Amino acid sequence: MVKILLCCSAGMSTSMVVQRMEKAAVQLGIDASIAAVGTEEFSEKIVDYDCCLLGPQIKYKLTDFQSCAGEYNKPVAVINTMDYGMLNGEKILKSALSLIDSHRGA
């Protein structure tokens, strides 16, 4: 099972993205656990996930999040603004899977 964490200011706006990603995972036959949290929960939750995707509204915190996640060897990236705005769960899911794969291969 792949475990993906999404993070935004309060964890609210990404909850809709999570629903779309979960639907895409089912359609693609991917066993995935996807959750959304606010920024204050990130440091305690990242250890349990394979990667974290940040909402575009907090992309300015990417370096801080990568530093924290680096302690656990977990990759962090920012969700594409257009995909986020369009709630393109499939594309965001595939982006997360690619991030995990490239990190494991590194």
Which residues have a catalytic role annotated?
A: 8
The neighbouring-strand residues paired with 8 are 38
The upper half-sphere exposure of residue 90, i.e. CA atoms within 13 Å in the direction of its Cβ, equals 5
Task: Please give the DSSP secondary-structure letter assigned to residue 88.
Answer: -
